[in-house]
A = this chain, B = another copy of it.
Amino acid sequence: MSWGPARAEFPVLDRLAYLNAGTNGPLARSTHEAIAAQERSDVESGRGGPAYFERALALRDEVRTKLAAVVGVEPGVMSLATSTTNGCNIVLSGLQLEPSDEVLTTDGEHFGLLGALAASTAQVQVALVRELPPEESLQVLLDAITPATKLIALSHVCWMSGNRYPVEELRRESGLPVLVDGAQSAGAIPVDAAAVDFYAFSCQKWLCGPDVTGGLVVVDPERLGIAAPSYLSQESYDDVGFVARPGAARFDPGWTPPPSLAGLSAALDLAPEGRFERAVQMADRCQELIAERFEVVTAPGQATLVSFRPDEDPEDLVKRLYEHGVVVRHVPKLGWIRVSCGWWTTEEDLARLLGAL
């Protein structure tokens, strides 16, 4: 599908300048129809019987395969984690770091990662890189590594500033395991998750999937502990132990609603050719327009988020913009406004934003 007809699939884009895919992406008509069809079946035919479970398991395989393709890996290393948060928790709880271990992170992380780090017993070291472009942040991060560093855990794209972090270079140059929070990258920019060790992402943002869907890449599944097993983690068990399923499916945190799987599968089919190029183009254009009147935080040529410093109270501004049909968010504590541009974003959306600002 080319981008014009694909864009026309999103009803919300007819009503609003919807510029907040960094929180939740727009939902397409075809995604909604796939969800609704499965729900009708569940209500009318019941959530039981052999055909129901066969379909649910087939949908899991289908979605796993499609998600793997999105981030450039084999399906065998993809777990159907429910969110970036869930993925980060699976990794940190599975690694079982010691209190003497260190994890290196940044000052630009979401609580989805920070919470998992806080719950681990390891020491958290914070590199101050959120406002640096990736070519400068690499050295700052490498310099912060100590002999106790056992993991580097950071975003691919900073949810606050919109800047990229050099995750692949970090992996290569440090030789240390790298956990990537891919919430603002999977579906937004090209991703090669196999270049790091763990890649956690959400599907309801840039992939326009249903709520509470996500993925976690574990490149070497056998080497990570299973801290929170579900029925789907095992291929056999007795009262005191279990044999894990092969591959990263062992980390699947539980059942996914079949309507959500059907909707996600439809959403993943929608993405048009050239979507990454178009999304970055629109973000660049957004940056250009905002820079005429405000101080932009985001370095040039990053991903699909553009953050800037408003000259009024950011919370009030977000509300005022919403009243004008423009959906953006503010970044708490820093007082920035963050604009999310997708392949579906148009010049008209940006004009509406600028007009309302």
Residues of chain A whose beta carbon lies under 8 Å from any beta carbon of chain B: 11-12, 15-16, 18, 20, 23-27, 29, 31-32, 35-36, 39-40, 42-50, 82-83, 85-86, 89, 93, 105, 107, 109-112, 114-119, 124, 126, 204, 210-212, 225-231, 233-234, 237, 239-242, 253-260, 319, 322, 327, 329
Contacts and interface: CB of A to CB of B under 8 A. Distances in A.
A111 B234 contact: yes
B48 A24 contact: yes
A163 to B, nearest CB: 17
A115 B46 contact: no
A221 B210 CA distance: 31
Given A86-B254, A212-B255, A239-B109, A47 B24 contact: yes
A328 to B, nearest CB: 9
A71 B36 CA distance: 31
A83 B255 contact: yes
Contacts of A89: 227-229
Nearest to A46: B12
A119 to B, nearest CB: 5
Nearest to A106: B239
A116 B229 contact: yes
A49 B17 CA distance: 12
Nearest to A105: B239
B327 A229 contact: no
Given A15-B46, A109-B239, 18 more contacts: A12-B46, A15-B44, A23-B47, A27-B43, A35-B39, A36-B39, A47-B204, A48-B329, A85-B254, A93-B227, A110-B231, A111-B230, A115-B229, A118-B237, A119-B226, A212-B256, A227-B227, A257-B260
29 contacts: A23-B48, A24-B46, A24-B47, A27-B42, A27-B46, A27-B47, A32-B39, A47-B204, A48-B329, A49-B322, A50-B319, A50-B322, A82-B254, A86-B228, A93-B227, A105-B239, A109-B239, A111-B230, A111-B234, A114-B240, A115-B229, A115-B234, A115-B242, A118-B229, A119-B226, A119-B228, A124-B239, A211-B257, A212-B256
A111 B244 CA distance: 12
Contact of A237 (B15, B85, B86, B115): B115
A176 to B, nearest CB: 19
Closest 5 CB pairs of A and B: A115-B229, A24-B47, A211-B257, A89-B228, A12-B46
A26 B46 contact: yes
B45 A15 contact: yes
A18 B48 CA distance: 8
Contacts of A110: 231
A101 to B, nearest CB: 14
B11 A43 contact: yes
Please indicate which of the listed interface residues A46, A86, A258, A259 has the most CB atoms of chain B within 10 Å of its own CB. Answer: A46
Contacts of A260: 211, 257
A158 to B, nearest CB: 13
Contact of A231 (B115, B126, B257): B115
Given A119-B226, A211-B257, A255-B211, A239 B48 contact: no
B111 A231 contact: yes
Please indicate which of the listed interface residues A44, A49, A114 has the most CB atoms of chain B within 10 Å of its own CB. Answer: A49
